[in-house]
Amino acid sequence: MASDPRAPSERRSSRAAVVLAAGQDDASRDLLTRPLGDSTVAQVALANVRALVPAERIVVVVAQGDTALPALLGDDLTYVEQTERLGTGDAVRAARGAVGPGVDRVLVTYADTPLLRVESLLGLLTRHELKQVALSLLTASVPHPDAAYGRIVREAGRIVAIDEQVEREPGDGVVEVNVGAYVAAPALLFEELDHMAAAGEHRLTDLARRVIGRGLEITAYRIRDTDEVQGINTPAELTAAEDIVLKRLFVPRKNTDTRIVFGTGGWRAVIGEGYTLANVRRLTQAIANEVVRQGLEDKGVVIGGDRRFLSRDSAIAAAEVFAGNGVPVRLLPDDVPTPLVTFAAPHLGAAYGIIVTSSHNPPEWNGIKVFRSDGSLPLDEETDRYTDEANAMRVRDVITLDIELARSAGMIDERPLTEPYIDAIEQIIDVDAARGSELRVVVDPMYGTSQLTLGTILSDMRVRADFIHAAHNPLFGGVAPAPDLQRLSALIGMIRDEPGRYQLGLATDGDSDRIGIVDERGEYVSTNDLLLLLYWYLWEVRGERGGVVRNLATTHLLDRLAAHYGEPALEVKVGFKHVVAAMEEIGAVLGGESSGGLTIRGWLLGKDGIFACALVVEMLARTGKTISQLLDDVRAITGTLHTLEAAVPSTPEMRVAVPRRLAAEPLTHIGPYPVLRVGHLDGVKLYLENDNWALLRFSGTEPLLRMSVEADTPDKAREMLAWLERFVTAGV
């Protein structure tokens, strides 16, 4: 038969749905109102149907006298009562009078099968509409199915029977079974149900048998995820369903969900999946709405982009949206570092600064970071507000003004801000201290955006600098542009190959807000050690006074050094916005994270790898010592701790199992080492004796479970990390 030529919106309006919610008994009906995720069983099931069928065409069949479900599900649906509990066929038949005119096909499903995905129900409806058959049913390939499910019998690919009599042994393997959701034309559906009632047949399975017996064609949409088959008829099944719902929250979403979600460092998504120009426009429209609501239009916004694929196009798209909303834009030309935009917002007095970047993520990612007028990152409450608005927005709700019109109307200013940014850094960095030091460094910008700004600053300091990986390469050489030990082999090799030629290796990540360094011997220096050095330098040499702020994944040696100076130290959640907020709280002189981000009091309210590189050069010039010599000096005060980190892919199963195991059996030891206390500030942190600790934390920007440890000796650190790895992977 010919397929249905109508547009999807037309086909949707001609659908109706009958949702069976009368239950087998009071206990099964009670389960429909029990919590499931952040909703209830019945609400989840109905949300799936609402996504496919207009509310005014959804009929819910409830038990006689049931008022609880209608109150729960809302008054925009139609409710009918099943006066006798004769079976599922009889329940559908009770909905006959409520299925209105103009309906071509009726979807029949259940309120106690909320784990059926919207995609599966859509697949069933679409298959029926394209095949133009008499009846379509939902099937699933299930290993060792329960005997309650009828087995689909096929001949030459066609369904010829649904066999409920065959007894299956556990070794039968994968079997295609009838899930119990159907689609049929209303005339056929209710005519056959009438015949069935007259014959004393009241199950929907009998409907399929009768249609097959009449020689009419039926088809099936087969689902492959066995979790969808999980019904909820007992408390044990509800518990199993809760696990499935929780697991699904952590499954990476693809084309079926393009929501904008902020992590610890802005919004990031895979290009072509969540990251699209349409989403860029929706997000910037939501931020433009925020600007207008606050009456800040005259302040305008500043927008820049890094070297990633689509960054320039995205920056222009964002500028067109702000211009369309009457908000002037300073659109920075070419590619710029994230810290330059952080600086630009307060420098210009702009309402917001926006940078198109995905920081150190792999090349297939892009994203957007947003800065407030003072250059700080907005806190969760604010980002939630405009992401919620953006996600609820239709594309036609976005107001734009073409870039050329915006330029001619004076709404877009494309002058650079590179020189003011460099000048501001050089007002804090002692440029003259490095002159005459004859320092020579090698810099790896990792194909990112720091070459112009950092190169100019080093030139002004009369520091000879050789750059590698400075070309514009949106693929970043095929690796994620993160300045860590694994990705700085070229930089390390240059220093080791010519001993004495370079006193320092510097690296910045893809958007230049993180730093990595290599000492004069070609040894990678961890950010933990770098933070320790800089805090010592600021206090001892520059005479700065104040405490230190670190995130909970960063070395406790900072706390030891602060205690030595009689200064406070604060531990905060991962995310630089938390570091900055705590710095202001205690007047800290330094704030940083072990992942490579840092800032000092009086500079930006955000991390800046370019500024950090210049400060390290100043430290070497003013002390006249190498990095390794300085580390020896500091460790004489603090002693030594050894940190190790690892990460494993955070599968949905792991994100369910690990927190559950930690809650059920709180850890009292890591191997033989006793746990003194457990913190839940961000993930789970286990505090041991002598500033030793271990951290389990699911990343906010990547699908990873991160594990970090700090211990007295390298062997102990390795032992603790290996124990954590065994713990998180056990039984998953």
Domain stop point among 622, 638, 654: 638
Residue positions counted in the chain:
732
Residue 372 and residue 509 share a domain: no
Looking at 281-390, which runs of residues are DSSP E strands? 301-305, 329-331, 352-356, 365-372
Residues 500, 508 contacting (CB under 8 angstroms) = no
Domain stop point among 609, 638, 667: 638
Residue 634 and residue 662 share a domain: no
Q: Is residue 7 included in any domain, yes or no?
A: no
pLDDT in tens, 594-636: 989 999 999 999 999 999 999 999 999 999 999 999 999 999 9
pLDDT for 167 equals 58
Separation between Cα atoms, residue 480 and residue 380, nearest integer Å: 26
Residue 394 and residue 479 share a domain: no
Residues 492, 518 contacting (CB under 8 angstroms) = yes
Residue 446 and residue 404 share a domain: no
Q: Is residue 605 included in any domain, yes or no?
A: yes
CATH number at residue 522: 3.40.120.10
pLDDT for 582 equals 95
- Greater pLDDT, 145 or 491: 491
Over residues 548-561, the mean pLDDT reads 97
CATH number at residue 69: 3.90.550.10
Residues 662, 717 contacting (CB under 8 angstroms) = no
Residue 450 and residue 530 share a domain: yes
pLDDT for 13 equals 65
Residue 64 and residue 83 share a domain: yes
Q: Is residue 244 included in any domain, yes or no?
A: no
Assign 712 a pLDDT band (cuts: 50, 70, 90).
very high
Residue 454 and residue 402 share a domain: no
Amino acid at 476: F
As given in the structure block, the two tokens for residue 180 are: 């119990």
Separation between Cα atoms, residue 229 and residue 215, nearest integer Å: 28
Residue 470 and residue 392 share a domain: no
Residue 116 and residue 34 share a domain: yes
Over residues 492-502, the mean pLDDT reads 95
Q: What percentage of the chain has pLDDT greater than the value 70?
A: 94
Least confident of 192-196, 265-269, 637-641, 714-718: 265-269
Q: What is the dihedral of CA 573, 574, 579, 582, to 10 degrees?
A: 0
* pLDDT of 172 strictly over 70: no
Assign 686 a pLDDT band (cuts: 50, 70, 90).
very high
Q: Is residue 253 included in any domain, yes or no?
A: no
Q: Is residue 236 included in any domain, yes or no?
A: no
Q: Is residue 331 included in any domain, yes or no?
A: yes
* pLDDT of 585 strictly over 90: yes
CATH number at residue 666: 3.30.310.50
As given in the structure block, the two tokens for residue 614 are: 């210049």
* pLDDT of 559 strictly over 70: yes
Separation between Cα atoms, residue 673 and residue 675, nearest integer Å: 7
Residue 378 and residue 430 share a domain: no
Over residues 661-681, the mean pLDDT reads 90
pLDDT for 228 equals 87
Cα atoms in the Cβ-side hemisphere of radius 13 Å centred on 9: 0
Q: Is residue 308 included in any domain, yes or no?
A: yes
Residue 485 and residue 378 share a domain: no
As given in the structure block, the two tokens for residue 583 are: 């710095």
* pLDDT of 4 strictly over 60: no
pLDDT for 235 equals 85
Separation between Cα atoms, residue 699 and residue 722, nearest integer Å: 19
Over residues 76-85, the mean pLDDT reads 93
* pLDDT of 1 strictly over 50: no
Task: Provide the whole-model pTM.
Answer: 0.72
Q: Name the residue range of residue 300's domain.
A: 262-415
Strand partners, 516: 507
Q: How many domains does the chain have?
A: 4
pLDDT for 168 equals 52
Over residues 518-527, the mean pLDDT reads 96
* pLDDT of 242 strictly over 90: no
Burial class (CB in 10 A: 0-12, 13-18, 19+), 578: buried
Strand partners, 60: 19, 79
Q: Is residue 92 included in any domain, yes or no?
A: yes
Give the H or E element holding residue 617.
helix 609-623
Domain stop point among 638, 662, 680: 638
Q: How many CB atoms within 10 Å of residue 521?
A: 12
Residue 687 and residue 559 share a domain: no
